[in-house]
A = this chain, B = another copy of it.
Amino acid sequence: MNNEQCTTLKVLDNVPFGQVAGENLFFALRLERPEWKNWQPGQFVMVRPSGWAFDMLWARPFSICRVSPRDLVLFFQVVGRGTRRMAELKSGDDVLVWGPLGNGFAVEPDSPTLLLAGGIGIAPFVGYAHSHPKPWNLHMEFGHRMPLSCYPYESINEKIMGDAHLEEKPEDLTRFIELMDRRIAEHAEQNGLVLACGPTPFLKTVQHLALKHSARCQLSLETRMACGVGACLGCVTKVADDMHANGVAAGRAQVCNHGPVFWAHQVNLSEG
């Protein structure tokens, strides 16, 4: 935990991706590189623009999308008040950031690894694909509802194999789930890894399929967060009994410091 820090970083730029009905709703937010010693894809940071008044008290959690020697990149979608204000960030603005927080995804260089991303859940896989020592062992299936140009899909697709699936009609979803079913089964047979990030209904589907095929699968969970450091108990998820030894109290674990990445068989997504 010793490289957790709380620092103010300058915005380098905040580049809109794609458009939805003429509006910019997706942004790659590039910040100065914090002085972190190390980080793992799947970890996240808490972000609070310095210009925010106290009318909105909490920082917002975002997956680390990429880290280079020069910058820290986050990728976010406008969904509410906070992200709407973040869309107005300009180069030179100050942003308070603490992290890297939580546990990242498992990296097993030689295991065939399936990346399942739903919508903005693609963000952590950018860093995963780019930092993986053997990217030819990775494969991604990406389900999305907004135009593909809204997402950082290209930057992953240039490194690893995979497909994108636009969900317009209900049949599209059915077909996507069938595809995931097959892919998970394939990876389970080879004792591969399945990693998923996306909205909770998507994670529930992946969890169900992973358990069905006894795949080794990790899910990155999303919940409302206030502190990001395990203190407020606002972000918990129900967990299996075998996690209790881990310092987890009374059947519920904080997503921020015990996750956001959990093994699929250890979490219960029924609540929230």
A1 on the interface (CB 8 Å rule)? no
B residues near A54, Cβ cutoff 8 Å: 55
Report the bound CA distance from A53 to B56 in whole Å: 9
Tally A residues with Cβ within 8 Å of B: 4
Chain A contacts with B in 33-72, Cβ cutoff 8 A: 53-56
Contact flags (1/0) for A108-144 with B, using CB distance below 8 Å?
0000000000000000000000000000000000000
B residues near A55, Cβ cutoff 8 Å: 53-55
Give, as a whole number of angstroms, the nearest-CB distance from A80 to chain B.
Answer: 15
A52 closest partner in B (C-beta): B53
Report the bound CA distance from A53 to B54 in whole Å: 9
A54 closest partner in B (C-beta): B55
A56 closest partner in B (C-beta): B53
Give, as a whole number of angstroms, the nearest-CB distance from A91 to chain B.
Answer: 15
B residues near A56, Cβ cutoff 8 Å: 53
Report the bound CA distance from A55 to B56 in whole Å: 9
Chain A contacts with B in 165-214, Cβ cutoff 8 A: none
Report the bound CA distance from A54 to B54 in whole Å: 9
Give, as a whole number of angstroms, the nearest-CB distance from A215 to chain B.
Answer: 46
Report the bound CA distance from A203 to B56 in whole Å: 41
Report the bound CA distance from A54 to B53 in whole Å: 9
Report the bound CA distance from A164 to B55 in whole Å: 43
Please give the residue numbers on chain A whose beta carbons come within 8 Å of chain B beta carbons, in ascending order: 53-56
A–B complex contacts, Cβ < 8 Å, 5 sampled: A53-B53, A53-B55, A53-B56, A54-B55, A55-B55
Q: Which 5 A-B pairs have CB atoms at the shortest separation, nearest pair first?
A: A55-B55, A53-B55, A53-B53, A54-B55, A53-B56
